[in-house]
Chain A
Amino acid sequence: MSEVAEVLEAPLARGAGRAKRTKKRVIPGFGITMGITMSFVGIIVLVPMLSMALESRALGFGGFWRTIVDARTLNACKVSFFASFVGALVNGFGGLMLAWVIVRYRFPFRRFIDGLIELPFALPTAVAGISLTVLTTDKGWIGKPLFELLGVRVAYTQLGIILAITFVTIPFVVRSVQPVLEQLSPDFEEAGMILGASDFAVFFKIILPEILPALLTGFSLAFARGLGEYGSVIFIAGNIPFKTEIAPLVIMSKLEQFNYDQATAIALVMLAASFAIMFVVNRLQVRSATYAGEK
């Protein structure tokens, strides 16, 4: 097997070496399961993705370039990147805190908090979108005090986009960091404390290096998800061109104008960005797998 393929499969098929020993195929079902798998992958992923990529030829390089550097598109991409980055950052801190509190402390409603973390995955994004919007308008439960006391508007501003993205991506960092924190041996921390290290030193020199790969994985997954998020954002964003328009919405509006080529061009750029992020995640997982050894 090539080195690249090994790297790609490493996070999923840890310990695949075990199967490699088998010289002769004893287990039946290769043909049928492989056939089903390839048909699904072909019909659902490979053919549609390639079709889209091929369709963008119609635009030519010049047209492609003009679509991308169009001021409105560029601005939407900027808003998307900025909001996703800030959202992922908020989750980096908030998620780390939640994971820490859930793993390390015992307190009433701990199980409740732990169980509630996946809510953003279970709750349809449209429902989250309308709920967050009503919450943060000038008359909403959160929006009213914020506006009256601080003069801050959330709904229909970039702050609203950040809020929606933060909401949808809450589980990523918590669920990446939590298992690593659970398996962290207390011995090193205790050794550090006995040797006189301060709380900060123990956290930054002993705990943080151990959980950093998981933290970065969670951050990147949240970032990637935030970039593509549509359902929850469109309600709260207000979708004002040059201000609160996100990249997926620009694709959507190009589609509504039957501008399929331009929609495809923007989609390809966004795909490239997501793949770059997923590549980083993959490398991080390989690294953390080599450090942590077999889980």
Chain B
Amino acid sequence: MTERRDFRNDKNRLWRIVLIALSFLFIVAMLVLPLAQVLHGALERGFPPFLKAVSDPYAVIALKLTLLITAMTVVLNTFFGISAAWAITRFEFRGKGFLITLIDLPFAVSPVIAGLVFIMTFGRLGWAYPFLQDWGIRIVFAIPGMVLATIFVTFPFVGRELIPVLTARGTDEEEAAILMGAGFFRTFWKVTFPHMRWALLYGVILCTARAMGEFGAVSVVSGHLRGKTNTLPLHIEILFKEYHTLQSFGAATILVCAAILILIARNVVESVSKKDDFHRARQGV
């Protein structure tokens, strides 16, 4: 890190103090206080009620469901993201721009609408409903629908991170590997993967965060069956609306801890990948 030249800073000392103070105020009021409020709300009456709230059977079931949906979403989305990034950056084909737009689309869609589209497809009014009925498959108001809706809202997260990295790398190294006789998987693991691993991890972290906390989309397709299709965020909503504020904040603490872990992981990955790039650049790799 290079030291800033004093030239620009000396003149602006007053500005500097005012802006830093305002930034601290903004960060404390907007980000630190809400976090503190959750912990305060959960521990207001000491540890025992908090532990009771966290170990409540419905909360535990909700947590398990959230973990299950998050895991399925992240695995499927990573699989899709890698495939899409490979297809888009390694080949030329017609309609590529359109395909990228379709992948980006869920960014712009309200979570409520994300849930709604699956209701209109697989729900009772949807065209797919009779077929599903014949096969005895439930999608809407069941776990498959919740996974689909969560994949929808996290759709671009992994691919978006990979595509710029793979584009910037070009295809020369893969071509060389293939021409020298390496197979597809070997080329992928030995040549492509080392370049994209940080971007991949970054995308996976973002995807995990969003999947874990998704509320609107899941709320539309879940049907709110307590103990069955209630994820942790939905459980928190029900408790809060029933004025069980303490239990609600207790359950929220679990998600706050997860969010803080995700935030730390994100920052570690970012700084490590920067160092990694720096290292590579110095070595001329």
List A residues at the B interface (Cβ < 8 Å). 1-2, 4-9, 12-16, 18-20, 22, 25-30, 32-34, 36-37, 40-41, 43-49, 51-52, 55, 94, 97-98, 100-102, 104-107, 109, 113, 115-116, 118-128, 130-132, 134-135, 140-142, 166-167, 170, 186, 189-190, 193, 199, 224, 227-231, 235, 247-248, 251-252, 255, 260, 263-264, 267, 270-271, 274-275, 277-278
- Specify which chain A residues have a CB less than 8 angstroms from the CB of B206 in the assembled complex: 121
Interface of A is mostly: helix
Whether B102 lies near A45 (C-beta < 8 A) is yes
Whether B120 lies near A264 (C-beta < 8 A) is yes
Whether B236 lies near A126 (C-beta < 8 A) is yes
- CB-based nearest A residue for B235: A126
Whether B259 lies near A45 (C-beta < 8 A) is no
Whether B111 lies near A228 (C-beta < 8 A) is yes
- Specify which chain A residues have a CB less than 8 angstroms from the CB of B102 in the assembled complex: 41, 45-46
Distance between B110 CB and nearest chain A CB, rounded to angstroms: 3
Whether B97 lies near A26 (C-beta < 8 A) is no
Q: Which of B17-25, B48-56, B193-201 contacts the other chain?
A: B17-25
Whether B19 lies near A115 (C-beta < 8 A) is no
Top 5 A-B pairs, shortest CB-CB distance: A124-B213, A228-B110, A5-B97, A231-B215, A230-B216
Whether B179 lies near A231 (C-beta < 8 A) is no
Whether A105 lies near B112 (C-beta < 8 A) is no
- Specify which chain A residues have a CB less than 8 angstroms from the CB of B214 in the assembled complex: 124
- Specify which chain B residues have a CB less than 8 angstroms from the CB of A100 in the assembled complex: 19
Whether A14 lies near B164 (C-beta < 8 A) is yes
Whether B167 lies near A16 (C-beta < 8 A) is yes
Q: How far is the CA of A47 from the CA of B102 in the complex (A)?
A: 11
The answer to whether the Cβ of B133 comes within 8 Å of any Cβ in the partner chain is no
- Specify which chain B residues have a CB less than 8 angstroms from the CB of A115 in the assembled complex: 263-264, 267
Q: How large is the interface on B (under 10, 10 to 19, 20 to 34, 35 or more residues)?
A: 35 or more
Report which of B79, B113, B240, B259 forms a contact with A130, defined as CB distance below 8 A: B240
Whether A118 lies near B266 (C-beta < 8 A) is yes
Whether B100 lies near A55 (C-beta < 8 A) is no
The answer to whether the Cβ of B15 comes within 8 Å of any Cβ in the partner chain is yes
- CB-based nearest A residue for B19: A101
Distance between A147 CB and nearest chain B CB, rounded to angstroms: 16
- CB-based nearest A residue for B126: A51
Whether A255 lies near B167 (C-beta < 8 A) is no
Q: How far is the CA of A50 from the CA of B16 in the complex (A)?
A: 52
Given that A105-B20, A230-B215 are known contacts, is A260 also in contact with B125, CB under 8 Å in the complex?
Answer: yes
- CB-based nearest B residue for A25: B91
The answer to whether the Cβ of B280 comes within 8 Å of any Cβ in the partner chain is no
